[in-house]
Amino acid sequence: MKKPSSFAAGTIIHRGGFTLQRRQVRLAWLMLVPALAVLIFVALYPLVQTVYSSFTDEQFLGGTTHVVGFANYYNIFTNNTNTAASYPDFAAATILTLKFTVWSVVIEFLLGLGIALVLNSQFKGRGGMRAAMLVPWAIPTVVSAQMWKWMFNDISGVVNDFLMRIHVLSAPQSWLADPSTSLAAVVAVDVWKTTPFVALLLLAGLQVIPTDIYEAAAVDGATGFQKLWRITLPLLRPAIAVTLIFRTLDAIRVFDIFNVFFGSTIGKLTMATAIQNTIVSNNEVGYGAALSVVMFVIIAIFVVVYTTVFKVEQQ
Amino acid sequence: MSTSVIPPTTIVAPPTKSGRPARGQQRNPVLRGLFYLVILVLAFYMLFPFYWAIRSALVPESAAGDTPVQYWPSNPTLSNFGDALTGGILKQPLINSAIVAGSVTLLSLVIGASAAYALGRLRFRGRTIMMYAILSMTIFPQIAILGSLYTLFSKWGLINSEWSLIISYLIFTLPFTIWVLQSFFRTMPHELEESAYVDGASPFRTFWSIMLPLAAPGLVTTGLLAFINAWNEYLYAVSFLQTADHFTVPVAIVEWPPSTGSQFAIPWDHVMAGTVIVTVPLIVLVLIFQRRLVAGLTAGAVKG
């Protein structure tokens, strides 16, 4: 971290007898107070409240709340899918979320890396390509989900029409309803929406690699592949780490596309849509809070694993 | 939250143009052709869905469900755009979204810029801890506090009110704004402050009259990103808003009411006209501020 200005603060005496140093400290806290107040109020307090609720049977507008100890957690870990109490199948939701996360992050990373490498070289139309990449990024996720839902339409969707014209399909496919293609359909939308962002992050990493390394490698007779494998990828590691961490965390929290495509369809819930359904549609605030805590812990595990892996590799 | 609050990164991104390997100018014509083919396929994948939304919005209602599908509309019409805007299905949500995203952006900039200056330029005990707290908040999962906010807002009668969103969106816009702006403040030269102090300006006056105006480009970038993220948010909006007159744009696009006549079918021609209407301003905005946005997206923890 770069040290802030090191001029002789504290030696200049100002009105009121305060030294500049002390006035700076006072001002710093004054300037931080509004932000701290907001964050404590909108994030920290609700988070504490969530942890508390997770030990209760609180229901939205539902009379008295009782403390039930670990009952909610017990039901989650035994995967109690009691329909009378409208508990979602959270185990299934977790598995679906992880499947989605792995597929989308892997594809987005590989595709994004390819695009970043292409954009990092000079060619005609590079600026246009970069602008085209920002289009999917700029469109709101739910709006793009609606656009794709229409493209995936069983009867008059363009995906079916196109694939039948080129004779890949002989009959229309119900992309979203058919369990064998529904996950692929969601991943296709997420890849479309998010790859540009991945490519931009990796491109920024590529642009700080000094070119003279490549020139030296060329003098030594390195092949294109050797340059990629031995220079580009190792030097890109910090950018790769950051990209993977944030993409993974985003994918685990996925809500928008699944909610637009499947709503609360049984078997197509992710962790986030299951929790939202439990709280908002079924009014089970206490149980939903326990689910939120479990999800929070899963996310925390991912953060710890990722940071450890990348730290170990760097040593 | 797939509206992706764009994470701060540890990447520095000065756009350099010098001496990149020139793949486009491959001497081998086959490789060169292949290279441009890949680029064409990628551009097609990225742009086609948007073309398709426009095409579907231009096709008259009577031909919307035609098979085989027309790839180029034979009788284009603009009537779907009119239908989407009249009747209040989209008009009120556009106003609501503008109010919500505008207020959130303004609040984040005012509160965020002052906190960012303190973190980036002033020396005080506890600064490092505060920096880590803010950074960790940028990956805060919004879903974790959905239930608490839901109960809290209902206690205050804020369910189905734009206020619930203006308050709750600060959770993701504020930490991000603070983080990017503090790194922005940090890059400004010390001489500016020093000469102000020597001239007898107070620390606050130095911030207000000298540093803040100079930070205007950073404010524009972070403001835009905050606005886009607030405009696109869906999880809280769909949870806290209940009636169509309070919907924001994302909720309105998803909960589009069926057209009269066909009770259950989604009027895709209108919905697509709606998606085009709400998307075009965003695309124009993004293309105008292209360079700044990319810098803002990839800057962040830069000199942290």
Segment B127-130 long-range contacts (CB within 8 Å, at least 24 positions apart) = B127/A28, B128/A1, B130/A32
Residue B19: per-residue pLDDT: 44
Contact B2 A61 (CB under 8 A): no
| Cβ atoms of A134 and B290 closer than 8 Å | yes
**Which residues lie below 8 Å from residue A60, measured CB to CB, with a gap of 6+?**
A279, A283, A284, A285, B150, B151, B154
| Cβ atoms of A72 and A275 closer than 8 Å | no
pTM for the full predicted model: 0.86
- Measured between beta carbons, the chain B residues lying within 8 angstroms of A259 are 234, 238, 254
Please tell me the distance from the alpha carbon of residue A82 to that of residue A77, in angstroms, as a whole number.
Answer: 13
Query: Looking at the predicted complex, does its ipTM rise above 0.90?
Result: no
Contact B46 A196 (CB under 8 A): yes
Tell me the Ramachandran region of residue A167: left when phi exceeds 0, alpha when psi lies from -120 to 50, beta otherwise: left
| Cβ atoms of B1 and B235 closer than 8 Å | yes
Contact A49 B145 (CB under 8 A): yes
User: Which residue among A46, A257, A276 places its CB closest to the CB of B145?
Assistant: A46
Residues A11-55 have pLDDT tens digits of 454 455 567 788 888 889 999 999 999 999 999 999 999 999 999
Residue A44: per-residue pLDDT: 92
**pLDDT at position B291 over 60:** yes
Bridge partner residues of A114 (DSSP): none
User: Which residue among B15, B137, B150 places its CB closest to the CB of A207?
Assistant: B15
What is chain A's length? 315
- Measured between beta carbons, the chain B residues lying within 8 angstroms of A143 are 249-250, 253, 275, 278-279
Residue A265: per-residue pLDDT: 86
Residue B192: per-residue pLDDT: 83
- Measured between beta carbons, the chain A residues lying within 8 angstroms of B84 are none
Residue A189: per-residue pLDDT: 94
Q: Is the dihedral of CA B87, B90, B96, B99 positive or negative?
A: negative
Residue reference for tokens 């992309």: A175
**pLDDT at position A96 over 60:** yes
Give the mean model confidence (pLDDT) for residues A229-245.
87
- Measured between beta carbons, the chain B residues lying within 8 angstroms of A209 are none
> Chain A: nearest CA to B11, how far in angstroms?
6
What the block records as the tokens of A67 is: 């403390």
Please tell me the distance from the alpha carbon of residue A142 to that of residue B238, in angstroms, as a whole number.
Answer: 11
Q: What single-letter DSSP state applies at residue A40? A: I
Coil vs helix vs strand at B264: coil
Residue B74 burial (CB count, 10 A): 9
Please tell me the distance from the alpha carbon of residue A199 to that of residue A116, in angstroms, as a whole number.
Answer: 5
Residue B300: per-residue pLDDT: 46
Most confident of A45-49, A56-60, A229-233, B259-263: A45-49
- Measured between beta carbons, the chain A residues lying within 8 angstroms of B232 are 140-142
Domain boundaries in chain B? 21-77, 79-298
Give the mean model confidence (pLDDT) for residues A51-66.
87
Helix axes B216-232, B170-186, angle to 10 degrees: 160
Residues B71-84 have pLDDT tens digits of 787 777 788 888 88
Residue B10: per-residue pLDDT: 40
**pLDDT at position B64 over 70:** no
Contact A137 B49 (CB under 8 A): no
- Measured between beta carbons, the chain B residues lying within 8 angstroms of A38 are 111, 170, 174
> Chain A: nearest CA to B232, how far in angstroms?
5
User: Which residue among B24, B46, B303 places its CB closest to the CB of A121?
Assistant: B24
- B79-298 has CATH 1.10.3720.10 classification: yes
The verdict on B63 touching A (C-beta cutoff 8 Å) is no
Residues A179-206 have pLDDT tens digits of 889 999 999 999 999 998 899 889 888 8
Going from the N-terminus, what domains does chain A have, and what CATH number goes with each? 90-314 (1.10.3720.10)
| Cβ atoms of B4 and A197 closer than 8 Å | yes
Mutation target for B interface from A1, A29, A32: give the one with most B CBs within 10 A.
Answer: A32
Residues B276-286 have pLDDT tens digits of 998 888 888 88
Q: Which stretch of DSSP H or E encloses residue A53?
A: helix A45-53
Please tell me the distance from the alpha carbon of residue A41 to that of residue A48, in angstroms, as a whole number.
Answer: 11
Residues B127-162 have pLDDT tens digits of 889 988 888 887 788 999 999 999 999 999 999 999
**pLDDT at position B204 over 70:** yes
244-303 in chain B: CB under 8 A from chain A: 249-250, 253-254, 268, 271-272, 275, 278-279, 282-283, 285-287, 290, 293-294, 297-298, 303
**pLDDT at position A237 over 90:** no
| Cβ atoms of A134 and B296 closer than 8 Å | no
What the block records as the tokens of B240 is: 């806290």
Please tell me the distance from the alpha carbon of residue A141 to that of residue A148, in angstroms, as a whole number.
Answer: 11
